[in-house]
Amino acid sequence: MSAMLEARDLTKRFGGLTAVDHASLAVEQGSITALIGPNGAGKTTFFKMLAGEIAPTSGEIDFKGERINGYGVARVSRLGIGKSHQITQIFPNLTVAENVVIPALAALRGGFRADIFGSVRRVGGLDELVERTLAQVGLLDRTGVRAGELAYGEKRCLEIGLALATEPQLLLLDEPAAGMSPTETAETVDLIQRLRATVTIVIVEHDMDVVFGLADNIMVMQNGATIAYGTPDVIRADARVRDAYLGGADDE
């Protein structure tokens, strides 16, 4: 079976700095892949290239058999790759429900439509998609609240909700549990477990309990390059990984 997402020899240079150096990743449909590595390993840059936020200097990205290099983030999103960001990127002065409406509109009515006399209520399936998403991320009782007034953990949940409401087939989660309390982290892990039934997931995460609890496969990056790839058991046993990362003081 061919992979849902295949990134080959992705390289990104910023001037003289090579942030990502010939990194490759294949993601099977229905799997959870974790991306780990010390700070500055290039995980976030690699992720940004998968989402179309930045273009690779060289290398190729195929999604469902389509070459998506240079598509740009909006087109990649509409194709089915959703991303939640490490730093919360919400619409602060809109309500929680309105926040989720925005990606849902892109999913249901496309990248652009000049429906200036249309009604939000008459967009087919919008109500269901928004309600389902808010239920998934546990914000159903906060729909009318201004998003900027949410507690930090709630904002993180909304951040994931914004990605989910684009109805992605592949969900990229960049440190979803960053800054969350242990309870919130556990809830997020539960959420990801539930999501795996419907969506393929790639996750960047520093919390090793989260990573080893969730992932089918783990890719370890260091200095922009892939140094190991395999199941959690394989990674745990890998001497290079232990040297580079797990054994170090960086284990948060």
Residues in touch with another protein (CB under 8 A): 51, 53, 73-75, 77-78, 82-83, 85, 89-95, 97-98, 101-103, 105-107, 109, 111-121, 123, 126-127, 130-131, 134, 140, 143-144, 162-163, 165-166
Question: Nearest approach, Cβ of 39 to another protein (angstroms)?
Answer: 23
Question: Nearest approach, Cβ of 70 to another protein (angstroms)?
Answer: 15
- Around 230, how many Cα atoms within 13 Å sit in the side-chain half-sphere? 11
Question: Nearest approach, Cβ of 131 to another protein (angstroms)?
Answer: 4
Which residue is it, tokens 């590595």?
37
- Which bin fits 235, alpha (ψ -120 to 50), beta or left (φ > 0)? alpha
* Residue whose CB is less far from another protein, 97 or 241: 97
How far apart CA 67 and CA 70 sit, in angstroms, is: 9
Question: Nearest approach, Cβ of 156 to another protein (angstroms)?
Answer: 14
* Residue whose CB is less far from another protein, 16 or 111: 111
How far apart CA 165 and CA 99 sit, in angstroms, is: 10
* Residue whose CB is less far from another protein, 18 or 95: 95
DSSP 53: S
Q: Which amino acid is present at 189?
A: V
Whether the Cβ atoms of residue 75 and residue 111 lie closer than 8 Å to each other: yes
* Residue whose CB is less far from another protein, 137 or 214: 137
